[in-house]
Structure 1
Amino acid sequence: MMTIFTKIINGEIPSYKIAENDHFYAFLDIFPLVKGHTLVIPKAETDKFFDVSDELMQEYLLFAKPIAHAIEKVVPCNRIGVSVVGLEVPHAHMHLIPINSADDMNFSRSKLKLTPDEFREIQAQIIAAL
């Protein structure tokens, strides 16, 4: 079954793309907890994160690592938190979230409402930092 993330990968739904390769796609979360909140997804539809193949799992982290470093250069934070919740969309995905405290990763908090210009600005900054 095609997920919303597959539609994003295929360009059927627009996104604020940060990076892409043959196996993965990273883009800004449109319902971010904080500025710079980025999703990293495999292009192959896999429902659960730990059902991703062993080979791709290694590549997943290697793909996400420079993106996390770029976000950290752009968004003032103590570190980049990583969360794998997987309840929102049945397509394995990793959240990279700039954090200063554990509460910054509280998904029950209100989400930021950014303008398209704000999204494009943070997107450009992260891409430039890659």
Structure 2
Amino acid sequence: MSLDGTYDDGNIFAKILRGEAPCAKVFEDGHVFAFMDVFPQSKGHTLVIPKHSKARNLLDVEPEALQPLILGVQRVTRAVRAALTPDGIVVTQFNGAPAGQTIFHLHFHIIPRWEGVPVGRHASGGMADPAELKALAEQIAAKID
């Protein structure tokens, strides 16, 4: 898919928001929803999405949705840091398939990094154990302030 297109209400993140697909929820408020990536690049890989925007990517998002979204990303990133004490954290966001975007609902990746531990490749590798994701989600959620 290109940078432009029509939002697909059938994408997996839209289904998660509607409660039609399961996830290991980390955090939710009136503007954002955070949950564990089922194909994590590292332990604690968390996704943050807007709840009320049908933006496919950063170029589509309404300004009024962007501010609470990025504040939510910061809040969840701080909780990931507090819960998992990584050596570093990558916060990334892809726009369009050639850039690596695979789900066309605006989302940010929070990827904890540890010295000497390689990170997995985006959207590849096996699906994580749901029980492990749930435990990590609870650990991170406990650090949300």
Q: State the TM-score, normalizing by the size of structure 2.
A: 0.79
Equivalent residue in structure 2 for 1:100, among 96, 104, 114: 114
The AA in structure 2 aligned to 1:94 is: F
Match of 2:3 in 1: none
For residues 38 and 10 of structure 1, the distance between their equivalents in structure 2, rounded to whole angstroms, comes to 19
For residues 113 and 52 of structure 1, the distance between their equivalents in structure 2, rounded to whole angstroms, comes to 29
How many residues are matched?
129
Q: Any stretches of 5+ residues in structure 1 without a counterpart?
A: none
The structure with the greater share of residues assigned to helix is 1
Confirm whether residue 57 of structure 1 aligns to residue 41 of structure 2.
Answer: no
Q: State the TM-score, normalizing by the size of structure 1.
A: 0.87
4+ runs deviating over 6 angstroms: none
> Measured at CA, do residues 82 and 97 of structure 1 come closer, stay the same or move farther in structure 2, by a change above 3 Å?
same
Confirm whether residue 116 of structure 1 aligns to residue 130 of structure 2.
Answer: yes
- The alignment-based identity, stated in percent, is 34
Larger mean CA deviation between 113-122 and 5-14 belongs to: 113-122
CA RMSD for the aligned pairs? 2.1
